[in-house]
Chain A
Amino acid sequence: MNVLDITDLSIDFPTSKGVVHAVSHFSLSIPHGRRVGFIGESGSGKTTTALAAMRMLASPGFVAGGDIKLNGVGGTDILSLNEEEMRRVRLRKISYIPQGAMNSLNPVMRIENQIWDGIIAHEGHVEPSELQRRSREVLAGVGLEPHVGQLYPHELSGGMKQRVCIAIGVCLQPDLIIADEPTSALDVITQRHVMQTLREVQDKIGAGLILIGHDMGLMAQSVDDLAVMKLGELVEFGTVKQIIEDPQHPYTKELISSVPLVGGESFLDSTGSPPIQEDAGDVPLLEFQNVSRVYGSVTALHPMSFKLDGKVPKIISIVGQSGSGKSTMGGLMLGFNAPSTGQVLFKGQDINALSGDAALTFRKEVQAVFQDPYACFNPFYRVDHALKFPFKRFGLARDEAHVEQAMEEACVAVGLDPSLVLRRYPHQLSGGQRQRLIVARALMLSPKLLIADEPVSMVDASLRATILKNIHDLKDKHGISILYITHDLATAYHVSDYVMVLYHGHVVEAGPPKEVIGNPQHAYTRLLIDSIPWPDLARDWGSAEDAKRDLQKLGEIADRPETVFRGDVSGFALQTA
């Protein structure tokens, strides 16, 4: 029997520019106990479809046609329920595990209260001792200690919060669980543990599962069936095996091929060779001399030294999970925060002791691309402003015509059509377009060094490769050295010339990517690589037990920092204390 039948569902959003058909003629059935993945880019309608089953569409969206039925023939017609009846369906019949684990819990309520209020809302008065017993039981089910119930959300890590959300989602043993990108904010190691937990509890209560996501690898390791969505339409549906091994629709093929794989075929044109920078001289372009950074009692970065030679441009990747100290390193290089010990030198000069003109030159020669393409533009100005302003400020502009020409050239260099993006406001452009404009902006200033901090983590998977190609071109065509900060090992594998793996502020392994990522030696690097979900059914992700054991292993690694040095690359020298 099916737990959910969606028939010919259409969802419209009336806007001032006409009606947007967010979902059109979508039909799908989910059998009991089956895991179904909804995959597609942002705006493909996957979340909207799932929210329609909860009757929680964001205003002004509405169901324009079709049926949503719970528990098959003789079951519940979701769309015909009144408000109170619908409220009773939520959590008890269909539960929802939200995307933003970080903010999904009420910050002023203890965890157990947030489990209890759900139980009480559906069962009325329940004895306190019974509530205690049940919250402990569901927390134990997701691998959390009983004392977690008495904590407040801010006292929990991201992974723990997401597991609390799962506990809430299963506490009334619903027929269907909808999990909306439940692991998108988590690092790979925690992601594996959370996904395994979700599968385990879902299996135990026999509920159907809708997993919404955009990561083909995660889907391959987590679901039975896969629904591929594009622009509100179901373009392909089948078992994961069928879809990964024999995709029919061109869009599905694109989704699969856009995932960069460690050891897989490179998406970059590797024939180019970076132009030698003759004017670089003998002084290293960027140098860390015994640099460390301490915040209060936390050491974000342990003392390390490296020299990056500017003659032959290179891409150096810094990889690690959140809290590993990689963004701290980026901030140190940009002079945003001063090192606690040691010096950061750019062309031989301490960047924290630059004055006047030297400081201005440093700002021009060292550019940055940050994670969030939405937050990088001032929403009140047209995007031209962000491109023009630094260009004029650094005295590169001869006249207006020259500025226009430079902007257009920079847009073309990152694969954008100037007539489509210039003179627009940021909100009129997609995330991918904005992020490429940020790269174009940096390029216009002909910098020597680019710090790219998670430049593709917030753009859709299909665009990541393109933007990384743009960044790679900066090295090959424009001779810019790049520090690429990322949590994504697969892209680091393809893009970089040298990789440093950071864990708790220590460099644990460093060397050329083929060695460090292709054949990891340090226990932490191995753990990272093993936790990546592969879009390949033959490579199993391991069981929940494995994931838990690996998490424990992490704790042991933190106690004995050591650096495994792999092969050397000319022009880059690293030392750790």
Chain B
Amino acid sequence: MPRIPASYLINRVITLFLTVFIAATLIWIIPRLSPIDPADIMLGRMAAGAGSVEGSEDILAQLRENFGLDQPLIIQYFKYLGNIITFDFGLSTASFPTPVSALVAEALPWTIGLMLISIIITFIIGNLLGALMVWDHSPNLVKVAIPAAMVFTSIPPILSGLLLMWIFAAKLQWFPLTGSYGLNVEPGWDWDFMISVLHHGFLPALSIVVVTFGFWALGMRGLMITVQGEDYTKLAEAKGLRPRYILYRYMIRNAILPQITAFALKIGMLVAGQVLVERIFAYNGVGKLLYDAILDQDFPVIQGVSFVIILMTALAVFLVDLVYPLIDPRIRHEGA
């Protein structure tokens, strides 16, 4: 097992904490630059519900106190930092008084389930197709079919989602139109529920795969062309190695390295990036939670979701940094 130098590890851990800290601070500052007063909005919502509100000034003051908005900014900031360490993002203003952490915790497994699976499938399919576009020994059919399939990449996910819904859900009725699971099953770790989840997740996942595999395929194609021209690939051929072995062990093995870094960045983006897909399929994930929160100007939820996105990105990059020296021996020297 290759050894990772301690200095490399320390470097990466410091980077991880700094990233999260700076991001958390920005998340706190940006809403405070906004002229919108969350207490006002809540009051407005109450007023809209009840027709009129008695003693609005008192209620506003009470609301501000509840949210801690009556305290000096610096105290608010440190309280905030203390809270986010325990994942306490306060209470949602739209679904008052549900804690933000509860909303996020409920939505996160759905998003991670759907998005992680679809992005992993996309990554594998995209890179493999990108590699086959370049490989000399690919069947001609593959070389023609892949660029044609790339057309899908230029379709916005919202359109492809609607298109898939129309064909497979509305016309053919193979898959349900919307939702994360059927109304006739109870959530739980049983067979019926699992089937229902997979059945409902298929179309949203497919719409993501169809529109994003081209990103990986095109990137991989460029990297493969470079690797194909490398001297080591030529020497591999001159050594009389089998073409398939050269493809996997010499070409893809080297070309995939930058893609893995991109993959880490995508993992963080998957929550934010597929908001619309979750929205049109009425899929109860973090994306939909964020979408609704923005419409409702529910700042605590926006903050909470943003923080989770950043944490996931930073963690994914951190993990890739840890894995990278194992897959690229040249990295081990850096920092040592």
Bind each other: yes
Interface, chain A (partner B; CB < 8 A): 54, 56, 87-92, 95-96, 98-100, 102-109, 117-118, 121-122, 152, 154, 165, 168
Complex A-B: 25 CB contacts under 8 Å = A54-B238, A56-B234, A90-B239, A91-B239, A92-B240, A98-B234, A98-B235, A100-B231, A102-B231, A103-B231, A104-B231, A104-B232, A106-B236, A106-B249, A106-B250, A106-B254, A108-B253, A108-B254, A108-B327, A108-B329, A117-B239, A118-B241, A121-B241, A154-B333, A168-B239
Q: How far is the CA of A121 from the CA of B253 in the complex (A)?
A: 18
Q: In whole Å, how far is B252's beta carbon from the nearest beta carbon of chain A?
A: 11
Which of B235, B237, B257, B327 has the largest count of A CB atoms less than 10 A from its CB?
B235
- Determine if B240 and A165 form an interchain contact, defined as CB atoms under 8 angstroms apart: no
- Determine if A108 and B245 form an interchain contact, defined as CB atoms under 8 angstroms apart: no
Known: A108-B253, A154-B330, A154-B333. A99 touches B231 (CB 8 A): yes
Q: How far is the CA of A92 from the CA of B243 in the complex (A)?
A: 16
- Determine if B240 and A107 form an interchain contact, defined as CB atoms under 8 angstroms apart: no
Known: A117-B241, A121-B242. A104 touches B235 (CB 8 A): yes
Q: Chain A contacts of B241 at CB under 8 A? A: 87, 117-118, 121
Q: Chain B contacts of A88 at CB under 8 A? A: 240
Contact with A along B316-336 (1 / 0, CB 8 A): 000000000001111001000
Q: Chain A contacts of B70 at CB under 8 A? A: none
Q: In whole Å, how far is B320's beta carbon from the nearest beta carbon of chain A?
A: 16
Q: Chain A contacts of B242 at CB under 8 A? A: 87, 121
Residue of A nearest to B236 (CB): A106
B residues 209-260 touching A (CB-CB < 8 Å)? 230-232, 234-243, 245, 249-250, 253-254, 257
Residue of B nearest to A100 (CB): B231
Residue of A nearest to B136 (CB): A59
Residue of A nearest to B253 (CB): A108
Residue of A nearest to B230 (CB): A103
Question: Is chain A's binding surface mostly helix, strand, loop or mixed?
Answer: mixed
Q: How far is the CA of A422 from the CA of B254 in the complex (A)?
A: 41
Q: In whole Å, how far is B137's beta carbon from the nearest beta carbon of chain A?
A: 9
Known: A104-B232, A108-B327. A118 touches B253 (CB 8 A): no
Residue of A nearest to B2 (CB): A152
Q: In whole Å, how far is B272's beta carbon from the nearest beta carbon of chain A?
A: 33
Q: In whole Å, how far is B29's beta carbon from the nearest beta carbon of chain A?
A: 38
Known: A98-B231, A103-B231. A108 touches B238 (CB 8 A): no
Known: A117-B245, A117-B249. A107 touches B239 (CB 8 A): no
Residue of A nearest to B232 (CB): A106
Contact with A along B97-127 (1 / 0, CB 8 A): 0000000000000000000000000000000
Residue of A nearest to B330 (CB): A154
Q: Chain B contacts of A168 at CB under 8 A? A: 235, 239
Q: In whole Å, how far is B241's beta carbon from the nearest beta carbon of chain A?
A: 5
B residues 27-75 touching A (CB-CB < 8 Å)? none
Residue of B nearest to A118 (CB): B239
- Determine if A96 and B254 form an interchain contact, defined as CB atoms under 8 angstroms apart: no
Q: A96-B238, A98-B234 are in contact. List 9 more A-B contacts (CB 8 A).
A: A87-B240, A87-B242, A88-B240, A91-B240, A92-B240, A106-B250, A108-B253, A108-B328, A121-B239
Residue of B nearest to A103 (CB): B231
- Determine if B245 and A165 form an interchain contact, defined as CB atoms under 8 angstroms apart: no
- Determine if A107 and B238 form an interchain contact, defined as CB atoms under 8 angstroms apart: no
Q: In whole Å, how far is B228's beta carbon from the nearest beta carbon of chain A?
A: 11
Q: Chain B contacts of A90 at CB under 8 A? A: 237-240
Known: A56-B234, A98-B231, A105-B232. A122 touches B240 (CB 8 A): yes
Q: How far is the CA of A88 from the CA of B327 in the complex (A)?
A: 30
Q: How far is the CA of A98 from the CA of B239 in the complex (A)?
A: 11
Q: Chain B contacts of A96 at CB under 8 A? A: 235, 238
Q: How far is the CA of A104 from the CA of B333 in the complex (A)?
A: 20
Ranked nearest first, the 6 interchain pairs of A and B with the lowest CB-CB distance are A90-B240, A96-B238, A152-B329, A100-B231, A103-B231, A118-B239
B residues 190-205 touching A (CB-CB < 8 Å)? none
